[in-house]
């Protein structure tokens, strides 16, 4: 299995900092030039693979191996783009790493046999640079750029291609080192509990576990931010002439929108799995949204899920993170879970209004949390018997053996998912009383 170590990289002098900055800037320049040529060829209906020899053009600054790694990374991005298009998914061609006027994304990739990373009392990273940079900064012919490293590796194994980037917000250089480790070294759950996730639009994830824990990750602010950027992109696209399909500003907005979404997704997957691991969860059920999207949801909600949430990418990230902890992720059908009353089992007498679901039997609760509990109960009971039985109350307590604790609500603050001081809405407290009290 593949894992990633992260480090803070510190140049030893101002000259080393300038050299490293120039190396990353040249990498961004190579990426942008190659991406521009391929985008032009794509929009003109030509093959994107016949391009200028950018390795030869940048070998003096980056070195042959690093230049080739960037070209391969760019090729991989285009291959992924074409694969998504063949599957019918809405996506945009690979974009640029910023520009000189507004600032570039400073990043490079170094082949696994071209760098040396040592950690300990004198942690250091050595990377190659092109001969032109060596001459400019006074490095010897066989000398490499030596940098200090802060941080300890979490994983040890066969090292992969190193990613080196500059974080403008923290004014730090960072290194990401993928490694391949033996499967036997992954963590194991503390027990054998189960969890079920309801993936939504306003509340991104609602989770119920067999320990009685419920988690709710709110997504309204995230989606509104995503939608505002989308509308801005549409406005700019409407002003383009017929010969142009995009612009540098549009590409920058696309890139910013995607980075924000991916950052929140990655952080959510990590936060959720760590919480479930502490609960002793060994298996996580995630709903397959295909039938739900086609049957029950509005066009606006479908747009949220398909464009904003990127369901398939999230499941891949969730499964990858869960694997570190020995937790399995299983995608199952969740049809009718949001319409099923957990009190009487009816799917016809329930009504949902915003975050609340009610039933003529007297039940009232938080719709997404209710759906996740129903989803959990269904697949827990299906292991031993058909969940569709009149003894709904008995099945409910078999699936979720302990009384529900007050739901923990989490909100995104652009950096992390934080628990809210009031971790439930008024109707959520009512939900717990109606189910378990």
**How do the pLDDT tens digits run along the chain, 437 residues long?**
677 888 999 999 999 999 999 999 999 999 999 999 999 999 999 999 999 999 999 999 999 999 999 999 999 999 988 988 887 777 788 888 876 566 678 899 999 999 999 887 788 999 999 999 999 999 999 999 999 998 888 778 888 999 999 887 778 899 998 888 776 556 667 778 999 998 876 788 999 999 889 999 988 888 888 888 888 888 888 888 776 777 878 888 888 888 888 888 888 998 999 999 989 999 999 977 654 444 444 545 555 555 666 677 788 888 878 887 888 898 877 665 666 777 676 667 667 767 777 887 877 778 888 888 888 887 776 554 443 444 443 343 344 444 456 889 999 887 789 888 654 443 433 333 333 33
CA angle, residues 220, 246, 103, in degrees to nearest 5: 75
Pick from 385, 352, 365: nearest CA to 431: 365
Measured CA to CA, the distance from residue 410 to residue 422 in angstroms comes to 10
3-state secondary structure (DSSP) of residue 197: strand
Strand, helix or coil at 216? strand
Bridge partners of 207? 197, 215
- Cα gap 250→248, rounded to integer Å: 5
Give the chain's end-to-end CA distance (angstroms, integer).
45
pLDDT at 413: 84
Taking each helix axis as running N to C, give the angle between helix 311-324 and helix 248-278, from 0 to 180 degrees, rounded to the nearest 10: 40
DSSP assignment of 398-418: HHS-SPPPPPEEEEE-SS-EE
Residue in the block written with tokens 């209710």: 370
Is the distance from CB of 155 to CB of 236 less than 8 angstroms? no
> Using the 8-state DSSP alphabet, how is residue 348 labeled?
S
Checking DSSP bridges between strand 193-199 and strand 350-353, what pairing results, if any? unpaired
Among 308, 321, 326, residue whose Cα is nearest residue 272: 321
pLDDT at res. 103: 64
Token pair, residue 172, equals 């730090």
Give the pLDDT of residue 239.
Answer: 86
Q: Where are the domains of the chain?
A: 2-185, 193-436
Contact 73, 61 (CB under 8 A): no
Q: Which residues contact 2 (CB under 8 A, 6 or more apart)?
A: 160, 178, 179, 180, 181
């Amino acid at each position: 299995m593949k894992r990633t170590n992260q480090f803070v990289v510190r140049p030893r002098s101002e000259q080393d900092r300038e050299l490293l900055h120039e190396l990353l800037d040249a990498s961004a320049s190579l990426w942008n030039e190659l991406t521009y040529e391929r985008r032009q060829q794509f929009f003109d209906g030509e093959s994107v693979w016949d391009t200028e020899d950018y390795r030869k053009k940048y070998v003096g600054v980056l070195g042959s191996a690093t230049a080739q790694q960037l070209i391969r990374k760019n090729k991989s991005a285009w291959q992924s783009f074409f694969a998504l298009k063949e599957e019918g998914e809405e996506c945009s061609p690979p974009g640029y790493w910023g520009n000189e006027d507004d600032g570039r994304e400073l990043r490079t990739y170094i082949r696994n046999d071209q760098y040396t990373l040592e950690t300990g009392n004198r942690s250091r990273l050595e990377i190659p640079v092109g001969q032109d940079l060596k001459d400019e900064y006074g490095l010897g012919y066989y000398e490499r750029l030596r940098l200090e490293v802060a941080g300890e590796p979490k994983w040890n194994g066969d090292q992969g291609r190193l990613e080196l980037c500059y974080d403008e917000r923290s004014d730090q250089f960072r290194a990401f080192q993928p490694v391949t480790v033996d499967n036997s070294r992954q963590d194991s759950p503390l027990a054998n509990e189960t969890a079920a996730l309801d993936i939504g639009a306003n509340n991104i994830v609602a989770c119920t576990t067999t320990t009685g824990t419920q988690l709710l990750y709110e997504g309204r602010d995230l989606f509104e931010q995503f939608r505002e950027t989308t509308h801005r992109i549409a406005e700019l696209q409407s002003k383009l002439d017929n010969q142009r399909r995009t612009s540098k500003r549009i590409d920058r907005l696309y890139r910013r929108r995607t980075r924000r979404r991916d950052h929140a997704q990655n952080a959510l997957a990590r936060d959720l799995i760590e919480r479930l691991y502490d609960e002793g969860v060994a298996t996580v059920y995630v709903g397959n949204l295909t039938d739900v999207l086609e049957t029950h949801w509005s066009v606006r909600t479908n747009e949220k899920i398909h464009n904003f949430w990127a369901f398939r990418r999230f499941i891949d990230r969730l499964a990858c993170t869960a694997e570190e902890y020995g937790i399995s992720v299983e995608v199952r059908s969740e049809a009718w879970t949001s319409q099923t009353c957990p009190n009487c089992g009816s799917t016809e007498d329930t009504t949902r209004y915003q975050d609340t679901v009610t039933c003529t039997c007297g039940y009232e609760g938080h719709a997404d949390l209710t759906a996740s509990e129903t989803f959990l109960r269904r697949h827990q009971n299906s292991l031993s018997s058909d969940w569709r039985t009149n003894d709904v109350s008995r099945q409910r307590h078999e699936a979720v053996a302990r009384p529900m604790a007050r739901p923990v609500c989490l909100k995104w603050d652009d950096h992390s998912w934080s628990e809210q001081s009031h971790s439930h809405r008024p109707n959520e407290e009512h939900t717990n009383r109606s189910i378990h009290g």
